[in-house]
Structure 1
């Protein structure tokens, strides 16, 4: 979708229902034909439509990180595109999330715990 439609490439996945409908027979998004015209984008219309995106438990690792990327990356073109950060092809969605700064780094907790062990033994 984002490869063939320049407007779609400006959107995040969660914004798609506002401008596109899902065509069940073709299994593809198609632009809305009615609604409020979008300035500077001919033949693009918006509505107040809301889409649904399922929640995913963090224990379901790759699905959780895939969802995290979908709500934070504009114009994803493919699953491989979601795993690419600054030209680097990540092995996992988690790694891509980490490189994009979407995950907290626990290293400060590791240092704090290590310091407390040293302090308690002194």
Structure 2
């Protein structure tokens, strides 16, 4: 025996120019018995656990500034405050709050202090009590020019041991141009901690074909590796890096080149 069930839907068209969003929302909203009881007893409707606080990360004077026609002059004359800059200011305070804040890491501050919107990554989460961007770049009393140098001095960066092994294995079975290509890939995609050290260790292997060409061209087998040969090999490396990522070696942590001598 089969029973046929028919669903009937009733709707209507209404010609109106009104668009009352509040009324539409109230008519379309359904409050269940669970939500009603929850509200009657005054329980919290929204909750975040654990609490999530956005901590800004930016370079010195690199914070975003939002402005319009009315406040453009004011924004230009007033330094925009962020959680990073206010973290420094908090650590400068000589009261009990500043003293305690200087024992905390950047990521720990929201646990003990509340702030508002007025209130660099690796250093900020590893250096306690910084008071400025220069403080972040200072290690054992020495001010470093870059955050990268400061991180390296603090031994916060990953070791280049695996890149060292990669190049060492390539030297055993690859031609110089292949080793240079591998080195360029490491520079542009793997960002080794100390590329100069890797270059100094394997520059002879990456320059053997250049040395052979100089010896053949000059009919002199006594020519040895020199600055000119290394510079030419570096130029080849830079050409590869420019092709891969459009970045010169100087931006990748290596030396500035002398292209006029080639």
TM-score (norm 2): 0.29
Q: Which of 94, 115, 119 is the equivalent residue of 2:172?
A: 119
Q: Superposed, which structure 2 residues align to 1:73-88 within 5 Å?
A: 73-88=127-142
Q: Which of 88, 91, 101 is the equivalent residue of 1:8?
A: 101
Change (3 A) 1:120 1:22: same
Q: Equivalent residue of 2:157, what SS? A: coil
Q: CA deviation at 1:114?
A: 4.1
Residues 42-85 of structure 1, C-alpha deviation per residue, up to 9 Å, x if partnerless? xxxxxxxxxxxxxxxxxxxxxxxx21111111111111100101
Q: Equivalent residue of 1:97, what SS? A: helix
Q: CA deviation at 1:110?
A: 4.6
Q: CA deviation at 1:98?
A: 0.9
Residues 2-42 of structure 1, C-alpha deviation per residue, up to 9 Å, x if partnerless? 12110110000111111111144xx24xxxxxxxxxxxxxx
Q: Superposed, which structure 2 residues align to 1:59-98 within 5 Å?
A: 66-98=120-152
Q: Equivalent residue of 1:21, what SS? A: coil
TM-score (norm 1): 0.58
Compare the two structures and name the one with the higher helix fraction.
2
Q: Equivalent residue of 2:173, what SS? A: helix
Cα separation, 2, equivalents of 1:115 and 1:23:
52
The structure with the largest alpha-carbon Rg is 2
Q: CA deviation at 1:119?
A: 2.9
Q: Superposed, which structure 2 residues align to 1:42-61 within 5 Å?
A: none
Change (3 A) 1:19 1:111: closer
Which ranges of structure 1 fall in alignment gaps of 5 or more residues?
Answer: 29-65
Change (3 A) 1:85 1:119: same
